[in-house]
Amino acid sequence: MNLAVSIYKITADISISEKYGLISQMRKCAVSIPSNIAEGAGRGTDPQFIYFLNIAQGSAFELETQLLLVEKMNLISSDILKEPLESLLYIQKMNFKLMKSLNKN
């Protein structure tokens, strides 16, 4: 959830012309990650949890691509993106390990 808050804050500085494009998509992805993890955890079965973890993982990689894109477009500086990208990588790794662990069961 901290990553989602961070994404909302850094996208607030992007030009208004991107409000309904890239900004909206980045925010949706950022919110999708913890939302799908929570929904999957609440389903009560490992296969359903894994399904939602996969959706969260897809959103995480989508958000990573979008962050790299805004960096290449010079919409947000590399310095500002360093911490969110590191957090995102950590989330991707944790999520992958959790899916792997649940698949063993």
Q: Domains in the chain, please, with CATH?
A: 2-10+31-104 (1.20.1440.60)
pLDDT surpasses 90 at 20: no
What pLDDT shows up at residue 3? Answer: 95
pLDDT at 60: 98
The mean pLDDT value for 60-76 works out to 93
Residue type, 81: L
Rounded percentage of the chain residues whose pLDDT exceeds 70 = 93
Q: Please give the pLDDT value at position 104.
A: 86
Quote the pLDDT of residue 19: 61
Inter-residue contact 81 to 71 (CB < 8 Å): yes
pLDDT in tens, 29-52: 999 999 999 999 999 899 999 999
82/21: higher pLDDT: 82
Rounded CA separation 83/41 (Å): 27
